[in-house]
Amino acid sequence: MNQIEALRRINSLGTPGFETRDIAALLGVSPANASLLLRRLAGGGFLHRVARGRWTTVAEGTRELLVEQLAAPYPAYISLQSALFRHGLIEQVPAVLYAITLGRARRWDTPLGTVSFHRVPPGLFGGYETTAEGLKLATPEKALFDHIYLSPTRSRLFTSLPEIALPKTFRWSEVRRWTAKIVGQNRRTFVAEKLSRYH
């Protein structure tokens, strides 16, 4: 099978991300042959290798579309400073794309940029909307909550925020609803006290 036909069939999947084994099944070839074909397509600029065995048709500058692919099989959504910036609450552009997942916390350095995943318990996963581009993006309220909730973690990545401007439409009741879901009393008190500084 030639590269043009392979690329046409890959694009017909209608998904920006896939694994080598998916393409092997799609094209009816061995994983080794699929890997070779994908490397050639990447060399021609038609694809990007984002991690071992993981590929994308996503163009440069649109790394947000990689979040769910990199987090798989766990769900994930864009949050923290990345969501706060997209909502216009902070002006500083984050160099890293931050996301929340139910999988393990980890950092992916890809050709399209760095994606940093941070874990929350299942009871605190949610509070996002799906954008027109298909991105799962935390609401402003959940993005701020996620930031405060993760601020005491060992990484110290979220100990402070750049200057933040909360709009009049900011729903404090939504933040309080998420805070009430925190299981541990100490963490719940910590989050409530820290959030009160922004109110």
For 178-192, what is the mean pLDDT?
95
pLDDT at 1 > cutoff 70? no
Q: Tokens in use for 103?
A: 């999988």
Query: Which helix (H) or strand (E) segment is 39 a member of?
Result: helix 31-43
- Confidence class of residue 50 from pLDDT cuts 50, 70 and 90? confident
In the chain, CATH 1.10.10.10 sits at: 3-56
Q: In what order do the strands lie in the sheet with 76-78?
A: 106-110, 113-119, 97-101, 76-78, 136-138, 128-130
CA angle 56, 49, 135 (to 5 degrees): 35
pTM of the predicted protein model: 0.74
- Confidence class of residue 59 from pLDDT cuts 50, 70 and 90? low
CATH architecture of 3-56: Orthogonal Bundle (1.10)
- The mean pLDDT of the chain is 88
Query: Which helix (H) or strand (E) segment is 143 a member of?
Result: helix 140-150
DSSP E strand stretches across 28-142: 48-51, 54-56, 76-78, 97-101, 106-110, 113-119, 128-130, 136-138
CA of residue 33 relative to chain centroid, distance:
30
pLDDT at 65 > cutoff 80? no
SS3 content of the chain, % helix, strand, coil (to 5): 40, 20, 40
Give me the pLDDT at residue 108, please.
Answer: 87
